[in-house]
A = this chain, B = another copy of it.
Amino acid sequence: MMLDDRKLRILQAIIQSYITSAEPIGSRTISKSYDLGVSSATIRNEMSDLEELGYLVQPHTSAGRIPSDKGYRLYVNKLLQSRNLDFILRHDMKGKLIEEIGEVEQLIYNAARILSKVTNYTSLAIAPQIKKSQLKHIQLIPIDDTKILAVIVTNSGTVKNTVLRIDSNISYDHLNIISNYLNDKLKGYNIGDINAEVIDNLVKEIYEFKKTILDIVPIMINSLEDTTEVGVFLDGVTKIFDFPEYNDLEKAKEFISFVENKPNILTMLLDGQQKDVEITIGSENSFEQIKNCSVITATYSLNGKTIGKIGVIGPTRMDYSNVINVVRSLSLDLDDTLKKFFID
């Protein structure tokens, strides 16, 4: 049995109906609402075939049918006609995005908030990954006898502070010399590439402050990799309550627990392929807790290099067409904005 054109049209009709209604769709509904030129009985037969092929499932006998993950996948890959995003909306989004530019984190959080507001799904975002950024400036500042503050600025605009505890008292001037030296040697380095070897080479050329540098730099680099500190942004968590599929406390709890757990979000977004727009449907998700959700993400880049991701998560019955458009367009806006305000 093959998927002929009529079957595809019926599948499309069912999925579109289901996305807006959240109710199982029966053959009569389709024959009435869509002009397919065949009777409900024919549609009934076709639906039976579509179920056999795995694109539809029946919650119970004597109910209509709902799309399976496989059905949604086909829909997304083949049946989605990409309409253009409303110009006004695009313009508004970009306006909101650049309304108040502070640090990059602020910008990304802004993007997440816009995304949730415009799509009415929960939005996710990760701030530029420090490891993938280049070191732009490094500065050591004495705080008191036992502490110095290391400030690291990256090309993507991220500023990261680390308080270091030290034994020996180092003078302001000495710290300045070390700062300058580190700047000189490490500027432009990919932060992820600064490893033991690099640090070893670093101190080969300098004798006076060798010990201090070996005390300071590894701790500093380590603290940059602290994942608990990494910027994960969420907005619109409570949007999930608007969907009938989460009219169940257990499910709502599971969703919110998952999404509030930053490491989950981080792994999910970082593990994915780094393609432009990525769509993960239901059971395709690697986390069991969200096997009834779809996730749509897009990357954002600086200097042609992907540095982070934004996206939304919601029920598999998601308005794919709209969300894909919004996410893509917002990620392009982000690229623009980053280029303009944070260019290397």
Contact = CB atoms under 8 A, between A and B. Distances in A.
Interface of A: 102-103, 106, 136-137, 139, 141-143, 149, 151, 153, 157, 159, 161-163, 223, 226, 229, 237-238, 241, 247, 249, 252-253, 256-257, 260
Contact of A159 (B106, B163, B223, B260): B163
A106 B223 CA distance: 13
A133 to B, nearest CB: 14
Given A153-B141, A249-B249, A223 B163 contact: no
Given A141-B139, A143-B137, A163-B102, A149 B151 contact: yes
B159 A149 contact: yes
A308 B143 CA distance: 22
| For the complex of A and B, 9 pairs with smallest distance between CB atoms | A241-B253, A159-B161, A238-B257, A139-B141, A238-B256, A151-B151, A238-B253, A143-B153, A241-B249
Contacts of A137: 141-143, 149
Contacts of A102: 162-163, 223, 226, 229
A153 B150 CA distance: 12
Nearest to A140: B139
26 contacts: A102-B163, A102-B226, A103-B163, A106-B229, A136-B143, A137-B143, A137-B149, A139-B139, A149-B151, A149-B153, A151-B161, A157-B163, A159-B161, A159-B163, A161-B161, A237-B256, A237-B260, A238-B253, A238-B256, A238-B257, A238-B260, A241-B249, A241-B253, A249-B252, A252-B252, A256-B256
> Of A141, A229, A237, which is in contact with the most chain B CB atoms at under 10 Å from its CB?
A141
Contacts of A162: 102
Contacts of A103: 161, 163
Contacts of A142: 137
A50 B237 CA distance: 42
A241 to B, nearest CB: 4
A136 B106 CA distance: 25
A248 to B, nearest CB: 9
A241 B251 CA distance: 11
A314 B225 CA distance: 35
Nearest to A247: B249
A330 to B, nearest CB: 20
A229 B102 CA distance: 10
A256 B259 CA distance: 13
Contacts of A106: 229
Contacts of A157: 163
A229 B100 CA distance: 13
A259 to B, nearest CB: 10
Nearest to A180: B172
